Amino acid sequence: MRIFGVILAGGQGRRMGEADKALLRLAGRPLVAHVAERLEPQVERLAVSANGDAGRLAFLHLPVLPDDGSHGPLSGILSALDWAAPQGATHVVSAPTDAPFLPPDLTPRLLLAGEATGCALARSAGNDHPTFGLWPVTLRDALRAFLASGANPRVRAFADAHRAARADFPDDGAFRNLNTPEDLTAAEALLRGTP
């Protein structure tokens, strides 16, 4: 098994005032750098799926995969599968750029849950976190067809169509998404240890 990873950074940041969330700073560093630091040790190779100028992410020294964003996170997952397959990867693990506290055992738990189908989503406190997923590269043609069909491009809908298992995690806070300026402020306070 060869597991690659992708950080999904193609969102438009509407609730952040149209800001590029990947570059928003938390504890003096871009959000995407926090995610890369946590995900990179868990995968063989890591890339970022993003729209716009790839040069803005050059500081990461990671491949930047074009993402037209027309189908939300699934566009980024498809870009990652297309990147990983010719390099011999068997699976891709995805995580969003605005979740800097992602679990250090994300990949092994997803792999364990997805043993039967090869596909799994993270879940905590009874809630799915669809952008945290394990995707077999063999699904790339199915995903391309799903997106071309005009179906509602929801990650959970595609995952469930392929019998995605759920990997349960005990720490719901590990999946905290920083969607608003208030979320970013709260995350800063959490890292400083202030209420």
How sure is the predictor about 186, in pLDDT bands with cuts at 50, 70 and 90? Answer: confident
Q: Is the pLDDT of residue 195 over 80?
A: no
pLDDT for the residue 14: 52
pLDDT, tens digit, 9 for 90 and up, residues 47-72: 999 988 889 999 999 999 987 667 88
Coil, strand, or helix at residue 152?
coil
Burial-class residue 177 by CB neighbours within 10 Å (0-12, 13-18, 19+). middle
Give the Cα separation of 79 and 81 in Å (integer).
6
Instruction: Look at the pTM and tell me if it is higher than 0.85.
Output: yes
Q: What pLDDT, on a 0 to 100 scale, did the predictor assign at position 108?
A: 97
**8 A C-beta contact, residue 4 and residue 46:** yes
Distance CA 109, CA 122 (A): 8
Alpha carbon dihedral 91, 153, 6, 92, in 10-degree steps, equals 0
> Domains in the chain, please, with CATH?
3-192 (3.90.550.10)
CA distance 91 to 117: 12
Q: Which tens digits make up the pLDDT trace of 4-47?
A: 999 999 755 555 555 788 999 988 999 999 999 999 999 999 99
Higher-scoring residue by pLDDT: 173, 89: 89
CA 130 to chain centre: 9
pLDDT digits 0-9 by tens, 132-174: 999 999 999 999 999 998 877 899 999 999 999 999 999 988 9
- What is the predicted pLDDT for the residue at 80? 97
The pLDDT assigned to 18 comes to: 59
